[in-house]
Chain A
Amino acid sequence: MPPIKRTKFKLSPEQLLEMFYWLKLIRAFDERLSILVKQGKVRSGVYTGIGQEAIIVGTCYGLRKEDYICPLHRDLGAFLMKGVEAKVMMAQMFAKDTGLSKGRDSALHSGVSELGIFGNTSMLGANLPVAAGLGYTFKMEKTDNVVIAYFGEGASNVGDFHEALNFAGVQQLPVIFICENNQYAYSVPVEKSMAIDDVAIRAEGYGFDGVAINGNDVLAVYQATQGALARARGGDGPTLIECKTYRWHGHSEHDKAFYRTDEELAMWKSRDPIPTFTTYLRARHVLDDQKQQDIEAKVAATIDEALEFAMNSPDPKPEDAVTDLYA
């Protein structure tokens, strides 16, 4: 497989600190949700992406408002980075009337068209044909906007994945397919669901490049995404980026994940994307104690404010169980 051209990038200290903020916020949001589930305050539908944050930050950072994202069920951070307020996402998790879906469905099964966010169903991979359709409109309009579509390695075994990538390849669509390979499709390990090591090689079957990278390195993800963005914006079609990562929690918060070993989890926790990036920033004097403290305080305040908003928001009205079916 031809390697993806390395793209040079330069991020200012301010930009690097923004990325750091997003990593921290997304982690803190998911951690708080996990606690809220244990407290029985959020009922279900929580699929955290703890451990996978570098993928979201590295792919979403610097996107245009006009670009579209099609996140998967673990990608709450992508909603935040594309412009949904934290309090609205929290209200969504609480099934409140002020959430994105007004209590109609849990988790991330909602979207915001004005912000370029498509919300998928529970059918994993079903967002990918939709992503191709969004990309097709950019092609028709001859704009250089791009669609970023996320899926897990598990979803790469679904027919929709293959239909979507094939269509995108044939039509040379500006779609970047981001595989979050977190090693498990619920309980099934990757070696039981694929006879190949890298999802990335599947791209070759559809006529475009795929690359497997360290998904826990936010700058590696950012760099690969910038390369793919440049290609897509330049009319050179899709790219598949497989980000190798690991989810620390179970498939959902009720899953104790007994199907994996403590050693394996510990090994992946030692590759936590946040300390890795923190060390990088400190070594370059971008981050110091004061700045870190400020960012952590901002994160905590954002989460607290979101929580207060969600808890004080009204439940949906019973009569709205049958509204919004038709335009």
Chain B
Amino acid sequence: MSKELTYLDAIREALAEEMRRDPKVFVLGEDVGAYGGAFGATQGLYEEFGELRVVDTPISESAIIGVSIGAALRGYRPVAEMQFADFISCGFDQIVNQAATLRYRYGGRASVPIVVRAPSGGGVSGGLYHSQNPEAWFVHRPGLKVVAPSTAYDAKGLLKAAIRDDNPVIYFEHKFLYRRAKGPVPEGDEIVPIGVAATRREGSDATLLTYGAMVTPSLEAADRMAKDGVEVEVIDLRSLLPLDKAAIFTSLEKTSRVLVVHEDVKTLGLGAELSAMIVEERFDHLDAPVLRVTYPDTHAPFSHVLEAANLPNTDKIVEALRRLAAY
């Protein structure tokens, strides 16, 4: 049985179901209580579960994450909401130094099962501090897991997986997709495992690696390429740490060409790691350099004219795919 849900409703449903299933799950963050969250992701939870398990916090990102870590050490599974992924920098130390290192420095004798939900991404005229894609910061930190769903189905299934995971998981939910991404979502306990990519379109001529809000323009670009006889395999990574290396390598061994598309900036974005990893481990299979379509190395401007100039889109992806195919 499945039903049509938006990406945002899928998140809300995952939270509600996990809270019903496990009394140790609770949510905390700014405006998550009676207000239901800045985007409505926690709507209805306060009424159903009460203020002890749906905690309105002060504007204190570091405390939100630190409190989550403390609760996790006592067996709870807190889901902390950063109102915007941009604000996660205010809680950075608690994530990268406290949560990420804890198991290691405890000699493997403790774990930190927290989820940090981070509404990320542009295309919503959010400007500098409501548009960021800071996933690479966290992919760079051992001890964390990082996921970024692109569909309603995955939004639900990956959030459930993140909540049940015993490690700290940073869950990047893309704001552009909240109401635009709509699709079938299974009723009940469908888990999307962390670390497993999804092939969204099969093809034999090039591999396109992407995630989050870039999946849709990537698929559009692949359709356009098909009209020219170039079949592009589109892989939605879903999990950025750990990466599904097997899926990536299997595809490129078939296609010998790789394009990475992400909304994060270029320098040391995930594409840099993907490219280095592919060149290091599968150089012999490549017929072309690994190309990237990314945000330029700049900030997210407010003007929609400026922002549109920065965002990767179908045209930019098609252009890169043509270069890749012609190489």
Partner of B63, one of A121, A123, A166: A166
Distance in angstroms between the alpha carbons of A273 and B93 in the assembled complex: 36
CB-based contact A119/B63 at 8 Å: no
Q: Which residue of A lies closest to B71 (CB)?
A: A133
Verify if B110 is at the interface (C-beta below 8 Å from A): yes
Q: Which residue of A lies closest to B110 (CB)?
A: A113
Q: A-facing mask of B162-176, CB < 8 A → 1, else 0? A: 000011000000000
Q: List 20 A-B contacts (CB under 8 A).
A: A101-B107, A105-B104, A111-B73, A111-B110, A113-B74, A113-B109, A113-B110, A123-B97, A126-B97, A128-B66, A130-B66, A130-B73, A130-B94, A135-B70, A136-B71, A140-B53, A164-B66, A324-B107, A324-B108, A327-B113
List 3 A-B pairs, minimum CB-CB distance, nearest first. A133-B70, A129-B66, A324-B108
A-B contact count (CB 8 A): 135
Distance in angstroms between the alpha carbons of A164 and B62 in the assembled complex: 9
CB-based contact A160/B63 at 8 Å: yes
Verify if B60 is at the interface (C-beta below 8 Å from A): yes
Chain B residues touching A, range: 35 or more
CB-based contact B106/A101 at 8 Å: yes
Q: Which residue of B lies closest to A113 (CB)?
A: B110
Verify if A231 is at the interface (C-beta below 8 Å from B): no
Verify if B204 is at the interface (C-beta below 8 Å from A): no
CB-based contact A134/B93 at 8 Å: no
CB-based contact A132/B74 at 8 Å: no
CB-based contact B98/A126 at 8 Å: yes
**Would you give the shortest CB distance from B22 to chain A, in whole angstroms?**
14
**Would you give the shortest CB distance from B51 to chain A, in whole angstroms?**
10
Distance in angstroms between the alpha carbons of A205 and B76 in the assembled complex: 30
List A contacts of B76 (CB < 8 A).
137, 140
Verify if B294 is at the interface (C-beta below 8 Å from A): no
CB-based contact B105/A325 at 8 Å: no
CB-based contact B105/A104 at 8 Å: yes
Verify if A323 is at the interface (C-beta below 8 Å from B): yes
CB-based contact B101/A121 at 8 Å: yes
- Interface size counted on chain A using CB atoms at 8 A: 41
CB-based contact B94/A126 at 8 Å: yes
Contacts A136-B67, A137-B76 given: A327-B167 contact, CB under 8 Å?
A: yes
**Would you give the shortest CB distance from B315 to chain A, in whole angstroms?**
40
Within B285-318, the residues touching A (CB, 8 Å) are: none
CB-based contact A163/B58 at 8 Å: yes
Partner of B67, one of A99, A167, A325, A326: A167
Distance in angstroms between the alpha carbons of A112 and B72 in the assembled complex: 14
List A contacts of B267 (CB < 8 A).
none
Partner of A326, one of B53, B103, B106: B103
CB-based contact A163/B63 at 8 Å: yes
Q: Which residues of B approach A to under 8 Å, CB–CB?
A: 26, 52-53, 55, 57-58, 60, 62-63, 65-74, 76, 78, 93-94, 97-98, 101, 103-111, 113, 142-143, 145, 166-167
List A contacts of B142 (CB < 8 A).
325
CB-based contact B143/A325 at 8 Å: yes
**Would you give the shortest CB distance from A320 to chain B, in whole angstroms?**
9
Verify if A159 is at the interface (C-beta below 8 Å from B): yes
CB-based contact A170/B58 at 8 Å: yes
List B contacts of A140 (CB < 8 A).
26, 52-53, 76
List B contacts of A119 (CB < 8 A).
105-106
Distance in angstroms between the alpha carbons of A112 and B71 in the assembled complex: 15
Verify if A102 is at the interface (C-beta below 8 Å from B): yes
CB-based contact A325/B73 at 8 Å: no
**Would you give the shortest CB distance from B242 to chain A, in whole angstroms?**
9
Distance in angstroms between the alpha carbons of A187 and B144 in the assembled complex: 35
CB-based contact B62/A129 at 8 Å: yes
Partner of B65, one of A109, A129, A137: A129
Contacts A126-B94, A126-B98 given: A110-B70 contact, CB under 8 Å?
A: no
List B contacts of A109 (CB < 8 A).
105
Verify if A277 is at the interface (C-beta below 8 Å from B): no
Within A135-175, the residues touching B (CB, 8 Å) are: 135-137, 139-140, 159-160, 163-164, 166-167, 170
Verify if A46 is at the interface (C-beta below 8 Å from B): no
List A contacts of B60 (CB < 8 A).
129, 163, 166-167
List B contacts of A136 (CB < 8 A).
55, 67, 70-71
Verify if A100 is at the interface (C-beta below 8 Å from B): yes
**Would you give the shortest CB distance from A2 to chain B, in whole angstroms?**
24
Distance in angstroms between the alpha carbons of A132 and B57 in the assembled complex: 12
**Would you give the shortest CB distance from A27 to chain B, in whole angstroms?**
26
Verify if A200 is at the interface (C-beta below 8 Å from B): no
List A contacts of B145 (CB < 8 A).
326
Distance in angstroms between the alpha carbons of A323 and B103 in the assembled complex: 10
CB-based contact B106/A132 at 8 Å: no
Partner of A164, one of B63, B71, B72: B63
List B contacts of A102 (CB < 8 A).
107-108
CB-based contact B74/A137 at 8 Å: yes
Distance in angstroms between the alpha carbons of A139 and B51 in the assembled complex: 12
List B contacts of A94 (CB < 8 A).
none
List A contacts of B109 (CB < 8 A).
112-113
CB-based contact B66/A132 at 8 Å: yes
Verify if A131 is at the interface (C-beta below 8 Å from B): yes
CB-based contact A133/B167 at 8 Å: no
Q: Which residue of B lies closest to A128 (CB)?
A: B66
CB-based contact B70/A327 at 8 Å: no
Verify if A118 is at the interface (C-beta below 8 Å from B): yes
